[in-house]
Amino acid sequence: MRIDSVTGLYYDPYRPDINADPYPVYRRLRDEAPLYYNEPHDFYAVSRFEDVERCLVDRETFSSAKSSVLEIIRSDFEMPPGVFIFEDPPLHTVHRGLVSRVFTPRKMAAIEPQVRAYCARILDPLVGNATFDFVRDLGAQMPMRVIGMLLGIPETEQEKVRDFVDEGLRTEEGKPMDDASGQLLSGDFYADYVEWRSKNPSDDLMTELLTIEFEDEKGVTRRLTREEILTYINIVSGAGNETTTRLIGWTGKTLGEHPGQRRQLVEDPSLIPNAIEEILRFEPPAPHAARYVTRDVELHRQKVPAGSALLCLMGSANRDERRHPDPDTFDIRRAVGQHLTFGYGIHFCLGAALARLEGRVALEEVLKRFPEWEVDWSGAVWANTSTVRGWDSLPVLVGTGTA
């Protein structure tokens, strides 16, 4: 169905003009083409909450085994073992279980003092300045320190790791990723860290991955291979850095544009956790996830053939008026309920508790020091990626704010 040639409706996740503000296109997709086909890039897309939720849950029809990244699915890349975010059961059950014990809400709550200390170390030297950058000063720094601490990567090496992750997600403006599988999945970068940690064990995820014994999908009790460990670390490091960086950027942008609600948060910090939830709904850092269609399926009276790639547009689903009243209005007091920013079903984001913790603590610490700000759009720099959405730089003028 060539919807763009009939109605003028066109959605393309690589188009900078669409990606800058996709919500008008999302609305048209929901209303005019709830199942959409993009011919140039050969993918289908669903945009309504009900459809996105269904596709995220129905793993037998809409599989993650070939990745959740459109470019990797289209490349027909053979996924190596251990990439649990790109697996279905039984492999997914085994591999995710090895990491999930580190990211429980209880363990995340236990690291809150360290997360707060990282924020303070970043923000305190900036007090008294006329400006600071939500992304370069805070978003690109604090998540890197936290995930580095959890993995066991020395502080002196953490910026190098962050830059490696960041570079792997970059695209040319308007184009898909080149060699997406190589950029996202190669763990060779971490080989020296793993080798060092194998001789210097500590209380961190890297040491746990090196020493844990488990029963694999074949019933064999064993330890992880080095290749599997490197893959795990690459995936956790990438997921732990990039999306939270974008969340912090969206926090600065959204509250910069809603100063009245920002002032309510200053007056009543107990509203901050719900404000973070609303930001996650309103501006999800990862606006879509891809699935591989394993069998012919009918959606909205149209056939989606087996072998297709399908994009689940969580960013659209979160603003579906069929689910959320007045969805294009940002409201820190909204009863947010369920949103799909972290996915749904067995692939619900493993780091959701960590992202919520980091987002909340970052906002609390910023508001203590900078209760007023305006975004300095003259210095803002958009990040060209096809998997997450946000800025490389978002400077704000502090001590100012519109009424």
Q: Spell out the domains of the chain, with CATH numbers in brackets.
A: 25-33+77-282+319-398 (1.10.630.10)
Strands 289-293 and 309-312: antiparallel
Strands 297-299 and 302-304: antiparallel
Give the alpha-carbon dihedral of 126, 131, 134, 135, to 10 degrees: -90
pLDDT at 100: 82
| Tokens representing residue 330 in the block | 């940002």
Angle between helices 259-267 and 226-256 (to 10 degrees): 110
Averages of pLDDT over runs of 10 residues in the chain (403 residues) are 61 92 97 96 97 96 91 80 78 82 82 95 96 95 88 78 63 56 59 87 86 86 86 78 91 98 98 98 96 97 96 98 97 96 90 93 98 97 87 91 48
- Residue 181: the pLDDT is 47
Element of type H or E holding 151: helix 142-151
DSSP H or E stretch at residue 214: strand 213-215
Phi, psi for residue 296 in degrees, rounded to 5: -55, 135
- Cβ atoms of 344 and 352 within 8 Å: the answer is no
Which H, E and C letters describe 323-334, residue by residue?
CCCCCCCCCCCC
Phi and psi (nearest 5°) for 47? -130, -20
pLDDT, residue 2, reads 44
Count of Cβ atoms closer than 10 Å to residue 329 Cβ: 12
What own/partner pairs with CB < 8 Å and gap ≥ 24 does 209-218 have?
Answer: 209/98, 209/99, 209/233, 212/98, 214/94, 214/97, 214/98, 215/94, 216/94, 217/90, 217/91, 217/93, 217/94
Closest CA relative to residue 112, chosen from 349, 369, 361: 361
Q: Residue type for 70, please? A: L
